[in-house]
Amino acid sequence: MKKLSLLGSTGSIGTQALDVVRCIQGEGEHAVQVAALAAHSNIRLLEEQIREFKPQAVAVFDLQAASALRAAVRDLDVKVYGGMEGLCALAELESADIVLNSVVGMVGLQPTLTALKAKKQVALANKETLVAGGALVMQTAKENGIEILPVDSEHSAIFQCLQGMHTKSDLNRIILTASGGPFFGKTHAELSGVKPADALKHPNWDMGAKVTIDSSTLMNKGLEFIEAKWLFDMEPDDIDVVVHRESIVHSLIEYRDHSVIAQLGVPDMRIPIQYALTYPRRFRSPVRQLDLADWQRLTFFAPDEETFSCFGACKRAIRRGGTLPAAVNGANEAAVALFLKEQIGYLDIGEAVCAVADTFPAGPVTSVEDVLAADRAARAYVTEKFSK
């Protein structure tokens, strides 16, 4: 039985992960037991989860909310941590053997490194960990003999397709799919008046606000492009992206003989979450079966990098390398936060990300502080230059 430390339990990935845990309860020794839960500040839902799953420890990133939770669960035998220290405590919890990191943003980097150093299996749904600190994370994983299991549907698809690969030299390229978000086919001019409510209407996936905005700008695909470089040890020129509106083909790989293998399924994150939690085994899933006749047609398009400029900015950033991906990610996080508050326009997100990608230095990454410093500098730049 695997014992899980779930970071980000009240978010979209976290709540779906707990659905998976419920579903595979009947698998006996192959089931997953919840050892720890962590949330940002949603203590109402977190308390419900604590009472259902009975973890031995929990963490709340917001310190004030952590204090309130301690009072709410004082009748239970559970230890409550707070802040970044709390997230890291759960990442190295002795009784846990797998850490699912589904927190949003740069806050996920340090818990990932902590888990790897503690030799915990890591199931990774936090894009920023690899985007900002890819070199550090992959080196730490290698030093501790840990294989990172991807949870994003696209990277899980690649990971599943690669299970039949004999040697790395067999792989020619990987092909990530993108839904295109709610504004596929729109022109730059048509996007000028977009409001947060418009950008939060994703056609296929139910995700948190930040990730949904990133999907609408194609920033999400840019981040996944960078992730794929680190996860699968690929050169940027060997990673392609196609827009696939139906979100049935989750990604593909091409072998050197030009044979292409894809992973398909209905657009439901519980499939990749379950595969990461039960790897290398497969069990019955709570997700409905895919019936291709229901879809009849699957379509593919080249991404519009001119209109959705965040995608190209990410590709330029990873090609220059160093601290620049961390800076671009920080710029995007700051810009999205401002947009959701309606302090900047929708198109300002792309302008801010491109400005950082094209003007910031690509400094060396020798420590976590190098990454965090680049992140802080980019956020400060965007806040100063773009907010009203």
pLDDT digits (tens, 9 = 90+) for 320-355: 999 999 999 999 999 999 999 999 999 999 999 999
Distance CA 79, CA 70 (A): 8
Question: Count of CB atoms within 10 A of residue 253's CB?
Answer: 24
Contact 156, 150 (CB under 8 A): yes
pLDDT of residue 208: 77
SS3 137: helix
Annotated binding site for 1-deoxy-D-xylulose 5-phosphate: 127, 153-154, 179, 202, 215, 220-221, 224
pTM (predicted TM-score):
0.93
Mean pLDDT of 224-244: 97
pLDDT of residue 206: 66
Binding site, residues? 10-13, 42, 126-128, 152-154, 179, 202, 208, 215, 220-221, 224
pLDDT of 159 reads: 97
pLDDT in tens, 250-269: 999 999 999 999 999 999 99
Provide the annotated binding site for Mn(2+): 152, 154, 224
Mean pLDDT along residues 365-382: 96
Q: How confident is the model at residue 164 (pLDDT cuts 50, 70, 90)?
A: confident
Q: Which amino acid is at 79?
A: K
Residue 30 in this model has a pLDDT that exceeds 80: no
Contact 301, 242 (CB under 8 A): yes
* Beta-carbon contacts of residue 78 (< 8 Å; ≥ 6 apart): 50, 54, 55, 56, 57, 58
Query: Which pLDDT score, from 0 to 100, does residue 205 have?
Result: 66
- State the pLDDT at residue 200: 92
Average pLDDT score over the chain: 95
Question: Is the pLDDT confidence value at 101 over 90?
Answer: yes
State yes or no: pLDDT of 56 exceeds 80: yes
State the binding site for NADPH.
10-13, 42, 126, 128, 208
Domains of the chain by range and CATH?
2-151 (3.40.50.720), 162-267+297-320 (no CATH)
